[in-house]
Structure 1
Amino acid sequence: MAGRIRAEDIAAVKDRSSIVEVVRDHVTLRSAGVGSLKGLCPFHDEKTPSFTVRESAGTFHCFGCGEGGDVVAFVQKIDHLTFVEAIERLASRLGMELRREEGTGGAPEGGLGRRSRLVEAHRIAQEMYADLLINSPDARAARDFLRQRDFTGAQCERFGVGFSPRGGEVLSRLLRSRGFTEEETVLAGLVGRGGRGSYDRFRGRLMWPIRDTSGDTIGFGARRIFEDDRIEAKYLNTTETSIYKKSQVLYGIDLAKKVISQGRQAVVVEGYTDVMAAHLSGVESAVATCGTAFGVDHIKLLRRLMRDEPGLDPARIVFTFDGDAAGQKAAMKAFAEDQRWTAQSFVAVAADGMDPCDLRLRKGPEAVKELVDDAVPMFEFAVRTLIARLDLTTAEGRVAAMKTVAPVINSIKDPSLRPEYQRTVAGWIGVGIEQLADQMRRSGTLAAPQDGPRRRDPEPEEPSAAELATAYPMPDLRDPIVNAESQLLQVLLQYPNSVGAQIDEIPPEAFVAPAHRAVFDALRSVEPWEGMTLAQWVAAVTDLAPLAVQPMVTALSVATLPVTLDAATGGPEQRYVDSLVIRVREVALRREIADAMSLMRRLSSDPDADPAQVRDVASGLQERQRALARLREGTT
């Protein structure tokens, strides 16, 4: 058994590995001053870049979540590897052979770590599948399938397409002959166990290798091509393993990542052949999910590559969906997550409902490029989909349409676009602009849910319009009061110790913006934060926040405060924090005073008013006025 890696080899791997090159496999970096590069952190979701790399120091640090270290630590964290596995991966990248000390033990059989073993098993499987597609007589049906879709042998080789043999133990025998144990092949998801022993998981199927951003094959997508296949599912994907998490991978990302990064555009299609067709048609930023819906982890991956961040021209994300009901439903689910992007989202649906693969086959590569270039804003697609369900020839249908689309328009990330969309949508529905504007004003003041932030509602099978658009309007930070709320929440999330007991003096209704109120409710619902790391604290608040405002929690947790931090404490100065607390509390007291004065006026004009009630209201009003005066004086 091989022993420990020699210390001098470990040092050589560290010295020869460029941390910038390694990080760039996962994060798009740009200059951040002399010797520094910055990008979106791959370890937590953020909107403002806080992840910094210094090549000269060979280190990275995220000022948002606190992750940091050297190149080995980065590889360990990003790929969930042990120290030995990370060294092995870096050595492989360098083309460097590692030497081991004899007799020290401690290394897995064959000298490879567990993850490396599983990746190596997939590499062997992919090579075997690719060879069989070309040379096996049994693969004729697979070759015919590809030929019918105008994919040549060279093009299939580019994407690593292969064929799994119909025999039940061909791959498992090959892997055993290469020194892999049955346990390893099962853990890799390549082999299964049954009553008669082990068997190949994929049999008689067309195979697509699923690779991570560094190009390692970590799973497979397999299409049914034989009528007598015992498994009826058209597509069979690798089961979840320690190296393959379907919610975190995108097919084609290894080929598309450079183009996505350079062009700051990603195209999300629905299948493996659609990715191939798009790339072969010149749309080389195309990727696809692997047997699951497009979700939050996919967004995080693409945002990092596209530099989807404020302050830059918006990146562009284009979704292609089938024109049928299932495609519309998928588009609406993607729209539900649109608030997580700074990027502008678009939807491309061919007029006759063809997917990119069919479109390339029937109308040529240019038609695929035109489909992407002519994509419509996701907002427009969502609104048209919603109002298509209603009868706009009736007054009732038009009113229902206004109620349906008003929160959608209010959710548009760029406020400057709302007036124009308002005019456009009013025309689609057939109502006056002011009618729709009035409905938007009413829908723009939705209150936070009464059941509080402790329960996160499960994702509905088909979200309502309000849920899709988010029930919380984007706070207008041009309003000084709303801006103060935002800064106070930043302080509470980033420096929870700085507010202390004052937090108990702030009622949730003090927050003017419903979204801020929901974040504060979630924050107050977390158990005492002592003992938590800052990352755990923010994660706990995020988990308790309504789904619609979770991206806001993340943004507030990494946003830069508009003040210089105290050099001694590392946090904001106490007088700044106190001023924010006072400002927010003052708003609540002023509202209570206004309500009490309104009630006094009504009671004064009512000859039947109860004198005791009048006295109680007057007394309460005076107490609130005194409380406001004390607050202004800086006392409680």
Structure 2
Amino acid sequence: MYAEGVAEMAGRIRDEDIALVRERTSIAEVISDTVTLKSAGGGNLKGLCPFHDEKSPSFNVSPARNVWYCFGCGAGGDAIKFLMDAEHLSFVESVERLAARAGLQLRYVEDDRSTPRTRPQQGQRQRLVAAHAAAVEFYRAQLGTAGARPAREFLAQRGFDRAAAERYGCGFAPDAWDLLTKHLRQQGFSHDELVTAGLSRPSRSGTLIDRFRRRLMWPIREITGDVIGFGARKLFDDDDGPKYLNTPETPIYKKSHVLYGIDQAKREIAKQGKVVVVEGYTDVMACHLADVPTAVATCGTAFGSDHIAVLRRVLFDSDERAGEIIFTFDGDAAGQKAALRAFEDDQRFVGRTFIAVSPDNMDPCELRLAKGDLAVRDLVARREPLVDFALRHLINRFDLDTVDGRVEAMRRAAPLVAKIKDREKRPEYVRKLAGDLGMEIEPVQRAVLAAANGQPTDGAPNGPARPGRPTPTVDSPQSMVERESLKLALQEPVLAGPMFDAVEATAYRHPVHQAVRAAIAAAGGTATAAGGAVWIERVRDACDDLAGRALVGELAVEPLRIDGEPDPRYVSITMARLQWGSVTGRIKDLKSKIQRINPVSNKDEYFALFGELLSLEQHARALREQAAGGL
């Protein structure tokens, strides 16, 4: 489908402009907007894949070749493909986004490819994002008007001055039915675009009116910084709407994926390896201004699995670097319920989960206003493990002075202990729970063990299976050298050049390796290639085998088996070893065939095969000498 998109768009965006976008784009910078990347050695980077759930980083990026590949789910490609997959953009929108980022002016041609043009029709996503950007400026300007005084007072009463309001783009939806709608229509946005964006809605009479009126507005940005929605706070008593009103679900705004403040917090989250999850917009602002820059909040929905996936990628929450996830909840019953619900999600994180509850049951905004910035920082510093909080509040609901109360508390608490993902800590929590309940340790141990054994397990592996994924025998020397030669062709085609092209496809034994070798030939061979993402995509497009296409992406980022930079000698050694494996296989087959022939009755065939065997053995000796030094 990607190849078809490229072919289709080649008639609209000039081919040389697409190539220039690829050349001028830093794939590491593009991907770093959504995935925290760490060094993987050999100049490559790695992170947690945004396309499937994993606990060990298998998502690899090769800045030198401007390509990416996930060894876990098989997705891969260049920066254009990443935006298409990660942000659900069309090929056109992805190219345009990268061109704007690189400061490039794209040139277009009409369907007959004869008349160049430079003003394309923007894709839907770009139009909706542009409409939100215009709405942000409109609402910000309205915040300074006389009618917005209640909004300014609301901010001031919570400790936010003008600079804070500007930093977070706060605005005001005026007391008018269609002021924003008319403003955006004058800027060229259509009726359908404004409704689709969630900025306007049809009235009972059928006319288009503003969705938000008489409210304090917060722009909600996705991780890349684009505004995709709004949160609106009620200010007037005669407003019969909910306290907070959010943008409805739209093609660009999915509340289960959005975290308020992630655009400003992502770099500190990655740097510190921790994130603080709060409950509202003002809490995020208060934390950031109090020097807790890792705070984020959900937008009108409960914290869920999609939010976890976003945070894990930013945290680089993996077996290699477990992060800290700190929840802040009110100490009331609703807050306790939310904390217990958060513990259910604890298993989705590799890192440790904590809870921070103010002694006075104040949220971070209230705490900062009452006691200052230091109190907010202390709140986070005093965090306790979420499992401790959950156990304490669970057993406190029972009368531990009675036998029935202790036994029921044990039965309810045992599953929580059984869910602790660090198995080495479970015995300590068993002892702690027995002490808190005033019971002997043996019945608590049995209850926890029963709970652990009673949990259903389906044995599903981490991440989705990939039908048709190539599974070369990695322990086979021949398979390893086949992969190495293909990597040289994909990663270093100028260096591999004629040496690679001179070795026929018959030297490759694995059928998927044969398919990739054939695709390289169909793409023009390494002698004609300049390398980079364009070359890799050309090979991928030329490969008719699905498993081969996946392998092209995999080999494009897999490190070469050499310390330092490859040179012509290394290519020569690799190709010699490749041929040597093929030649020795043919020698073995010939010897077997000769042994089955009667040299008396089939003298001519016998001596022909024997002559071929001698020639192959001589060739094998030459290859063995050429391959001296090995991989």
> Could you tell me the TM-score, scaled by structure 2's length?
0.69
After superposition, where does 1:557-596 map in structure 2 within 5 Å? none
1:106-505 aligned within 5 A: 111-133=121-143, 135-196=144-205, 197-229=207-239, 231-312=240-321, 314-446=322-454, 471-472=455-456
| Aligned 8 A contact 1:410 1:444 in 2 | yes
Extract unaligned runs of 5+ from structure 2. Answer: 1-10, 472-545, 548-577, 579-631
Q: 2:29 is matched with which residue?
A: 21
Q: In structure 2, do the counterparts of structure 1 residues 351 and 295 end up closer, same or farther at CA, with 3 Å as the change threshold?
A: same
Letter in 1 for 2:198: G
Does the alignment pair 1:66 with 2:65?
A: no
SS in structure 1 of the partner of residue 17 of structure 2: helix
1:310–1:172: structure 2 CA closer, same or farther, 3 Å change rule?
A: same
Identity score, percent:
51
Distance 1:129 1:104, change over 3 A: farther
The reply to whether residue 86 of structure 1 matches residue 94 of structure 2 is: yes
Separation in structure 2 between the aligned mates of residue 201 and residue 442 of structure 1, nearest angstrom: 53
RMSD, aligned α-carbons: 2.6
Match of 1:38 in 2: 46
CA distance in 2, matches of 1:491, 1:175: 43
**Deviation (angstroms), 1:444:** 3.2
| Aligned mates of 1:94, 1:358 — CA distance in 2 | 43
Q: In 1, Cα distance between the equivalents of 2:466 and 2:418? A: 29
Bigger radius of gyration among the two: 2
| Matches of 1:215 and 1:207, distance apart in 2 | 17
Report how far residue 420 of structure 1 moved. Answer: 1.9
Give the secondary structure class of the aligned counterpart of 1:66. Answer: coil
CA distance in structure 2 between the partners assigned to 1:273 and 1:489 by the alignment: 40
Flag the 1:87–1:318 CA change in 2: closer, same or farther, 3 A. Answer: same
Separation of aligned partners in 2, 1:14 and 1:216: 22
Structure of greater relative contact order (alpha carbons < 8 Å, 6+ residues apart): 2
Per the alignment, residue 579 of structure 1 pairs with none
Question: What is the distance in 2 between the residues matched to 1:46 and 1:151?
Answer: 40
**TM-score calculated relative to the size of structure 1:** 0.69
1:476-529 deviation per Cα after TM superposition (whole angstroms, max 9, x unaligned): xxxxxxxxx97x968995689999xxxxxxxxxxxxxxxxxxxxxxxxxxxxxx
- Asked if structure 2 preserves the Cα contact closer than 8 Å seen for 1:52 and 1:61, the reply is yes
SS at match of 2:378: helix
Q: CA deviation at 1:425?
A: 2.0
Q: Which amino acid aligns with 1:119?
A: V
Secondary structure of 1:208's partner? strand
Q: Which residue of 1 aligns with 2:563?
A: none
Contact in 2 for aligned 1:4/1:107 (Cα 8 Å) = no
How many residues are aligned here?
A: 461
Mark the CA change 1:279 to 1:185 in structure 2 (over 3 Å): closer, same or farther: same
Q: Does structure 2 conserve the Cα–Cα contact (< 8 Å) formed by 1:491 and 1:498?
A: no
CA distance in 1 between counterparts of 2:219 and 2:117 reads 29
User: Which of residues 99, 109, 114 is equivalent to 1:101?
Assistant: 109
Aligned partner of residue 439 in structure 2, secondary structure: coil
The code of the aligned residue for 1:207 comes to M
Deviation by residue 1:37-89 (Cα, 9 ceiling, x = unmatched):
11110011111111111111111111111111111010111111111111111
Consecutive unaligned residues of structure 1, counting only runs of 5 or more, are 447-470, 474-484, 500-532, 535-566, 568-636
Structure 1 residue 107, shift from structure 2 partner: 10
Is residue 106–residue 118 contact of structure 2 (8 Å, CA) maintained in 1? no
